[in-house]
Structure 1
Amino acid sequence: MSAAKIKKGDAVVIRSGKDKGRTGTVLQVMPKEEKVVVAGINIAARHRKPTQENPQGGIDRREAPLHISKVGLAGNDGKPTRVRFEVKDGKKVRVAVKTGETIDG
């Protein structure tokens, strides 16, 4: 498995699906499943029965995981860009393919 090109806290653009074109922040990355959870994107509704912990029950809405190929790192122009790795000053850093800008330090 390769290194994660998208990390927690990154601003991403959704490339395909019902939320195509929307942006959000990565809340969680699951590298083994190749999935990410993005804030406010891919909302799934679960109908919950009343329990002792939740006596009201009702509909629980939360973000569901997306495949990592459906998201792209948001560039300065708000459009998705691919990511590559380069070694600069002896450190491995992520670089935006479109602009060549270093993403992390």
Structure 2
Amino acid sequence: MFVKTGDNVEIISGDDKGKQGTVIQALPRENKVIVKGVNVVKKHSKPTNTQPQGGIIDVERPINATNVKIVKGSAKKTSTAKKSTKSTDKKEDK
């Protein structure tokens, strides 16, 4: 799989197309990834001892790894690096 945990990715297809996020977990056997803030669904939980009130929780669901592409950290910034050329003129001492 070309995506690892911690990579910055952009969604290239689906409902969340164009969104960017960080890979929380990679699931190579299923060829899926979980991206922070993408493909969020609401999960209804029953009351338990840890959460006596229960409620609705937002959970990220996995998406197919073929629907993401890796984004470089400086992809949005334009690089204006110029190549420095040294002059090859040699001064002759007389």
Residue identity (%)? 44
Structural mapping, 1:9-48, within 5 Å: 9-48=6-45
Distance in 1, matches of 2:38 and 2:2, equals 19
Two-structure CA RMSD over aligned residues (Å): 1.1
Structure exhibiting the larger radius of gyration computed from Cα positions = 2
Deviation at 1:62, TM superposition (A): 1.3
More strand by percentage: 1
Deviation at 1:54, TM superposition (A): 1.0
Q: Which residue identity does 1:24 align to in structure 2?
A: G
Say which of 3, 6, 20 aligns to 2:3: 6
Note the residue ranges of structure 2 that are not aligned, 5 or more in a row.
Answer: 77-94
Higher relative contact order (CA 8 A, sep 6+): 2
Distance in 1, matches of 2:48 and 2:6, equals 34
Q: Structure 1 length as normaliser, TM-score?
A: 0.67
Q: Which residue identity does 1:63 align to in structure 2?
A: E
Note the residue ranges of structure 1 that are not aligned, 5 or more in a row.
Answer: 79-105
Describe the superposition over 1:21-52 as per-residue Cα deviations: whole angstroms up to 9, x where unpaired.
01000010000000000011110111111112
